[in-house]
Amino acid sequence: MRIEEVDARTAADEVLARFHELELACHEELRPGEPVRTRDEVIAFHRHLPETQTSCHWLADGGVATLYVHGPTATFVNLLVDPSRRRRGIGSALLERVVARCRELGVGILRGHHSTPAGAAFAARAGAREEQRIVASLLDIGAAELPEPQVPDGFRLVSWLGRVPDEHLPAYVRSRCAMDDAPAPDEFDFPSSTAEKVRASEESLARRGREMRLTVAMAGDGEIGAFTELRLSKGSTLGFTDDTGTVAGQRGKGLARAVKLESLRRLRADHPEVEVVTTSNAEENSVMRHLNESIGFRATAVETMAALVLGSPATAVP
> Tell me, what's the pLDDT at 315?
45
Q: Based on the domain organization, do 101 and 142 belong to the same domain?
A: no
pLDDT (average), residues 127-153: 96
d(CA 308, CA 63): 20
Residues 6+ apart with CB under 8 A from 269: none
Residue at 253 is within a domain: yes
The pLDDT value given to residue 318? 43
Residues 129 and 40 in one domain: yes
Looking at the predicted structure, is the pLDDT value of residue 316 above 50? Answer: no
Q: How confident is the model at residue 308 (pLDDT cuts 50, 70, 90)?
A: very high
Indicate the pLDDT class of residue 312, thresholds 50, 70 and 90.
low
The mean per-residue pLDDT over the stretch 18-45 comes to 93
| Domain, as residue range, for 79 | 3-134+305-309
Q: What distance in Å separates the CA atoms of residue 243 and residue 106, rounded to the nearest whole number?
A: 27
pLDDT at 56 over 90: yes
- Determine the average pLDDT of the residues in 21-37: 90
Tell me, yes or no, whether 147 and 23 share the same domain: no
Flag the least confident range among 139-153, 225-239, 298-312.
298-312
pLDDT tens-digit map of 160-214 = 999 999 999 999 999 999 888 888 888 899 989 999 999 999 999 999 999 999 9
Amino acid at 126: A
Judgement on whether residues 168 and 269 belong to the same structural domain of the protein: yes
pLDDT attached to residue 30: 86
Lowest mean pLDDT among 89-103, 287-301, 303-317: 303-317
Of 32-41, 61-70, 213-222, 263-272, the least confident: 32-41
Same domain flag for 38 and 182: no
Q: Three-state DSSP class for 318? A: coil
Q: Which residues contact 17 (CB under 8 A, 6 or more apart)?
A: 39, 42, 43
pTM for this predicted structure: 0.91
Does 112 fall in a domain?
yes
Of 115-119, 178-182, 258-262, 314-318, the poorest mean pLDDT is in 314-318
Q: Which residues pair with 113 in a beta bridge?
A: 305
Q: Which of 317, 304, 315, 318 is nearest to 119 (CA)?
A: 304
pLDDT tens readout for residues 249-298: 999 999 999 999 999 999 999 999 999 999 999 999 999 999 999 999 99
225 and 197 belong to one structural domain: yes
Q: What total number of domains does the chain contain? A: 2
Closest by CA to 48, choosing from 206, 199, 191, is: 206
CATH number for position 128: 3.40.630.30
Is residue 167 located within the same domain as residue 271? yes
Beta strand residue intervals within 150-223, DSSP E = 155-161, 210-219
Instruction: Answer whether residue 315 is part of any domain.
Output: no
Mean pLDDT of 101-115: 96
Q: What is the pLDDT of residue 132?
A: 94
Is residue 97, in this structure, part of any structural domain at all?
A: yes
Strand pairing report for 74-81 and 109-114: parallel
Together in a domain, 23 and 113: yes
In this structure, are 34 and 167 located in the same domain? no
Cβ neighbours of residue 60 closer than 8 Å, sequence gap 6 or more = 1, 2, 3, 4, 90, 93, 94
- Let me know if residue 316 belongs to a domain: no
Whether residues 62 and 172 share a domain: the answer is no
With a pLDDT cut of 70, the percent of the chain lying above it is: 98
